[in-house]
A and B are shown apart, each in its own frame.
Chain A
Amino acid sequence: MPDRPAASVAERYDRAGLLAAVVVMAGWHAGFLLPIVIATWLRYGPWASCAAVWLAYAATGTASAVVLLRGRGHGPALPLAACPVLLAGVVTGGLAQPAGFFGSPNWPFVTAAFFALVAMWRRGIAALSAFLAANAIAGLGVLIALGQTDRVSIARFVGLCGGGALPLTLFAGSKLVTAMAGRAASIREELASARVAEQAAEAVQEDRRSRYETIRGTVTGLLRGLADGQLDPAEPATRQRIAVAVSRLRRYLVETDDVPDPLSHELRACADAAERHGVAVDLAAPAGQVPHLPVEVRRALTEPIITVLAAAATRARVTVVASPDHVAVAILADASLTGADRDALASGPGGAAEVSVDEEGGLLWAQAQWTGARASP
C-alpha cells in the first residue's frame, strides 16, 4: 500500500490507463474481430477462420486483465506466459490465411501487439519493444514460408509493422502521464510540508519575539531607573534586579532549540518563575542528549529543583547531565531549607528519581537522578 499521497495519485493514473487499455482491447476483440472470425468460418471453414487463435487470445487477455487489475504483474511470469501464445497465434494466423498473408484480414498479427501492451503493462517499454520485434520476425518468417518475398509484399509488411508503433506510443504516453501526475502530487506535498515548516518557524519566531519584548521591558525599566537616579546601583535590591535581568538576557541568548526536549522546557518554565521572584537563574544547556522521559519521571526530576528555587535567595545554577540511560538534574543555590523541608525533598515525590541533598557554607545542592536500568524491571 502506498504510504505517500503522491504515490497513490500515480497509482490511480496508472490504473485508469490500464482500464482504458483493457476496455479498448475487449471492445476490439469482441466487437470488431468476432464478426470477421464468424464470416471467415462461414466462407472458408474453421481452420481459415482462426477461431482457436481468437479463443486463445481472449483467454490470454482475460487472464492478463485479471492479474493486472489486482495490482500484480510486476514480474516476468505474465509476459512469459502470454508471449508464446500471442506469437503462436501470429504464426498460425499467417499460415491459415486462404489467400496469402495479405489476402483476407490477417488480424492476429496486428492484434497481438495490443494484447502484449496489456500483458506488459507493469514491465518497461524495452520489454514491449522486444515483443514487437519478435512479432515482426515471426511475421517475416511466415511471409518467407509462404514464398511472398516480392517487393510489394515486403513493402506492405513493413507498413503493417509500422502499426506496431501505435501500442508503443500508447504505452509510453500513459507512463508519461502517470509520472507527471506523480510529480505534480509530490510537488504539492512538498509545498504543503514547507508551509507547515514555515508556520512552525513563525510560531517559534513569535514566541521569541514575545520573550524578547518581556526582556526588553525589564532592561529598559532598569536602565531608565539608573539614568534618572531612581535606582541606586549601590543598593542590594537594585543589584539583584540587574542580576535577574542579566540572567534572563543570557537565557535568551542561549535559547536556540526550536523544539526543546520537554525536560529542558519545564526547567526553563521553573527558572522563569523563580526570576519573577528576583532569583538570578543560570540555566545551563543540557550536557548530552536528553532521552525521552515519561511524565512521572520528569516530574520527579523537576520537583526538587522547584523546591530549592522557591527557597533560593538571590542566585541558582541549574544543570542537566544526560545520556541515553541516565539523567541527573541538579541545582546549586544560596538557599536554606528547614529540616522537615529537607526530609521531604530527599524522600522525593514518587521514587522515580533518586534525590540527594547537601548543604554547605550557605549553598544548597540538590540532585535528582534517574537511571533507565532501574526504571525498566
Chain B
Amino acid sequence: MGTSPVDRRTRVAVIEDQDVVIEGVRAWIAADPQRRAVVAAAGDSIDEVLAGPGGDADVIVLDLELGGDLMTGRVAALSDAGRRVVVFSVHVRPVIVDSVMRAGACAFLDKRTERDQFVDTIVAVARDRPAVTPSMAGGLLHAARLSDRERQALQHLFQGMDHASIARRLRKPTGEAVSPATVKQYIGRARAKYAAAGRPCRSNYALLARCIEDGLIRPEEISDYRSAARRVPP
C-alpha cells in the first residue's frame, strides 16, 4: 500500500459517546508508525460531527450504540450519501454485523478485540479497498458464492489467524504454501463478491470499481453475481 497514489493522510470522523474510547482511537491512530490517518472530528452525535469539520472526512467510524440507541438504521442513509462507514461496536452477533454490512457499511470492527486492525481497516476503506476483519468474516462465509480457497481463507480469518498463518495452511496442489498476498487476494475477492451480491449503494459501487481497477474481480463476474442476487430474494 506504500506505492498507493493516495499519499495524503486519511481523515477520520469518530462518532462515539464514550470519551475514553475516543481517546483510545486517537491514541491508536497517533501510534501508527506510518502516520497514515488523522482524526478530523469526534463527537457523540452523527449530525453534529458531520455538520462540522467531520463533514468532508474520508471515513466515518461509527459506534453502533449511541446513548443507548442502535444506529443500524442510519448506516444505509450514510452509505447512500456516499459516506464510507466503518462500524465499531461490541455488538458482534452475526445478525447485527450482517444487517449493517447489508445496509452498506464498508467494514466492521469488534471494539474489544480488533484494535490491532483498526488503522489498517480505515486506511483500506478510505482507498475503497476491500477490508475484512475476523468479525466480518463469519458473515461473509454464508453470504456469497465463494470458491473453496476463498471459503477456507475466510474461515481461518474468522478463527483468528493472520494472513501469514492462513497462507501457511492453504497449500497449493504441489504442496508449497501460498503467499500472504494470495490470501489477501482470496479475501478481497470474497469481499467484492459480497458487495456485488449486496445492496446497490455508492459505497458498494466504489469498492467494486476499485476491485476491478486492481484486477481483483472482472466486470462480467459482477453482473453474474448481481443477476444471481436478483434471482434469490433477500
Q: Please, how many angstroms separate the alpha-carbon atoms of A288 and B161 in the complex?
A: 19
A99 at the interface (CB under 8 A from B): no
Contact B141 A321 (CB under 8 A): yes
Contact B92 A287 (CB under 8 A): no
| Tally of A-B Cβ pairs under 8 angstroms | 63
List B4-54 residues whose CB lies under 8 Å from chain A.
none
Of B92, B113, B134, B141, which is within 8 A of A288 by CB? B141
- In the complex, chain A residues whose CB is within 8 Å of the CB of B155: 321, 328
- Which interface class (under 10, 10 to 19, 20 to 34, 35 or more) fits B? 20 to 34
Q: Tell me the nearest residue of chain A to B93, going by C-beta.
A: A285
Kindly provide the distance from the CB of A283 to the nearest chain B CB, expressed in whole angstroms: 11
Q: Tell me the nearest residue of chain A to B168, going by C-beta.
A: A360
Of B92, B93, B169, which is within 8 A of A358 by CB? B169
Q: Tell me the nearest residue of chain A to B138, going by C-beta.
A: A287
Q: Please, how many angstroms separate the alpha-carbon atoms of A284 and B108 in the complex?
A: 14
Kindly provide the distance from the CB of A208 to the nearest chain B CB, expressed in whole angstroms: 15
B118 at the interface (CB under 8 A from A): no
Contact B159 A253 (CB under 8 A): no
B94 at the interface (CB under 8 A from A): yes
Contact B142 A332 (CB under 8 A): no
Contact A365 B165 (CB under 8 A): yes
Q: Please, how many angstroms separate the alpha-carbon atoms of A285 and B91 in the complex?
A: 11
- In the complex, chain A residues whose CB is within 8 Å of the CB of B134: 284, 317
Interface string of A240-256 (1 = CB under 8 A from B): 00000011001001101
Q: Please, how many angstroms separate the alpha-carbon atoms of A323 and B135 in the complex?
A: 18
Contact B93 A319 (CB under 8 A): no
A335 at the interface (CB under 8 A from B): no
A282 at the interface (CB under 8 A from B): yes
Q: Please, how many angstroms separate the alpha-carbon atoms of A358 and B161 in the complex?
A: 12
Whether A332 contacts B161 in the complex (CB less than 8 A), given A254-B92, A285-B93, A285-B94, comes out as yes
B228 at the interface (CB under 8 A from A): no
- In the complex, chain A residues whose CB is within 8 Å of the CB of B130: none
List A343-377 residues whose CB lies under 8 Å from chain B.
358, 360, 363, 365, 367
Q: Please, how many angstroms separate the alpha-carbon atoms of A8 and B225 in the complex?
A: 53
Kindly provide the distance from the CB of A361 to the nearest chain B CB, expressed in whole angstroms: 8
In this complex, the member of B139, B168, B169 whose beta carbon has the largest number of chain A beta carbons within 10 angstroms is B169
- In the complex, chain B residues whose CB is within 8 Å of the CB of A253: 90-91
Of A246, A332, A363, which is within 8 A of B112 by CB? A246
Of B90, B139, B141, B161, which is within 8 A of A250 by CB? B90
Contact B142 A287 (CB under 8 A): yes
Q: Tell me the nearest residue of chain B to A358, going by C-beta.
A: B169
Contact B94 A367 (CB under 8 A): no
B186 at the interface (CB under 8 A from A): no
Contact B93 A256 (CB under 8 A): yes
Q: Please, how many angstroms separate the alpha-carbon atoms of A317 and B135 in the complex?
A: 12
Whether A250 contacts B112 in the complex (CB less than 8 A), given A285-B92, A321-B138, A321-B155, comes out as yes
- In the complex, chain A residues whose CB is within 8 Å of the CB of B88: none
Contact B168 A287 (CB under 8 A): no
Kindly provide the distance from the CB of A88 to the nearest chain B CB, expressed in whole angstroms: 62
Whether A317 contacts B112 in the complex (CB less than 8 A), given A256-B93, A288-B141, comes out as no
Q: Please, how many angstroms separate the alpha-carbon atoms of A283 and B120 in the complex?
A: 24
Contact A321 B158 (CB under 8 A): yes
A113 at the interface (CB under 8 A from B): no
A330 at the interface (CB under 8 A from B): yes
B219 at the interface (CB under 8 A from A): no
Whether A284 contacts B92 in the complex (CB less than 8 A), given A358-B169, A360-B168, comes out as yes
Contact B169 A317 (CB under 8 A): no
A-B contact pairs, 5 of them (CB 8 A): A254-B92, A254-B93, A286-B138, A319-B158, A358-B169
List residues of A whose CB falls within 8 A of some B CB: 246-247, 250, 253-254, 256, 282, 284-288, 317, 319, 321, 323, 328, 330, 332, 358, 360, 363, 365, 367
Knowing that A287-B139, A358-B168, A367-B159 touch, tell me 18 more A-B residue pairs with CB under 8 angstroms: A254-B91, A284-B134, A284-B138, A284-B158, A285-B138, A287-B137, A287-B141, A287-B142, A288-B141, A317-B134, A317-B159, A319-B158, A319-B160, A321-B158, A321-B159, A332-B160, A360-B165, A365-B165
